[in-house]
Structure 1
Amino acid sequence: LLAMTDRSTDGVQRPLKGRIPMPHKDFDVSVTRKRIPVEQGKEVVEQEVSQELDMAEGHMQELKRLAQLADETLSDMERKRIQSGGELPARDMEVFELELWRLQMKMAEIAEEVQEVHSVVRDADEQLAQPP
C-alpha cells in the first residue's frame, strides 16, 4: 500500500503515485501520496489508516452539516408555502429545488470520499494480515 515502490527493469526504485482525498470545501484536491520504505511497513500502514479515519470523521461532520442545511431549506420552503396561502410561486420552488439538488450532489461526493476511506482501510487490513 504505502510502502510499495515500482521497481523497473533497471532496478531503480521510483515512488508509485496515488490519489488521496483531502478535506477541502470542493473535495477536488488530489495529491501524490508519500511513499515510505518497506522496512517501516506495519507502522506506516497504521499511520495511514489513522489519517484516513480522521478524514472520514471530517467528511461525516460535513455530511451532518449539509443534512442540517437541507432540513433548514425544507423548513424555509414549508414556511414560505404556508405564508403564501398554500402554493409557492414557481420561481421560489425552482430555487428551493435547485438548492436541495446542490446539497444532495455535495452529499453524494462526500459519501464517495468516505467509500474511498473504507477501501484504504480494507486494503490496509489485508496488508497487515499478510506475513512480512
Structure 2
Amino acid sequence: ADDYVTKPYSTRELLARIRAVMRRRVEGDDDDLAVLEAGDVRMDVERHTVAVRGQETAMPLKEFELLEVLLRNSGRVLTRGQLIDRVWGADYFGDTKTLDVHIKRIRTKIEKHPSDPTMLLTVRGLGYRFEA
C-alpha cells in the first residue's frame, strides 16, 4: 500500500491522493524502464535500438512496439487481442494473421532457432508469452 485514507474523507482529497500516486508511478516508470533487458535481448526504448546477444539488430516500428509490450510483460501471457490493441490500437479491424507474421519476424531476429523458440513462446489458444 502506498497511501491510506481515513474515514471520513472528501472526494477532493481522495482524487488528489490518486493523482499523486499516479504521478509518482509515471515518473518512476520513465526512468526505470527506458532500457529493457530479458535473457539475450536488450532494448533501449528511447534510442529505438534492440541488441540480441550483444549484436544490434534493425527492427521496424511495429515489430519494435510489439517486442516492447512483450518485454514489459515478460513471463505473462498476453492474448492476441491485448497485443493487437496495444500495438495497432483498439480500432484496428485487420486480420490477426498480421500479428502472427510480426511474431515470426521477431523470432527470426531474436531466437537462435526460430522454428523452436525458447523466448517468444506461443500459448496455444491464448496468445504469446516472452520468457527470459
Report if TM-score (shorter chain) is over 0.5: no
Answer 1 or 2: which has greater strand percent. 2
* Bigger Rg over Cα: 1
Answer 1 or 2: which has greater helix percent. 1
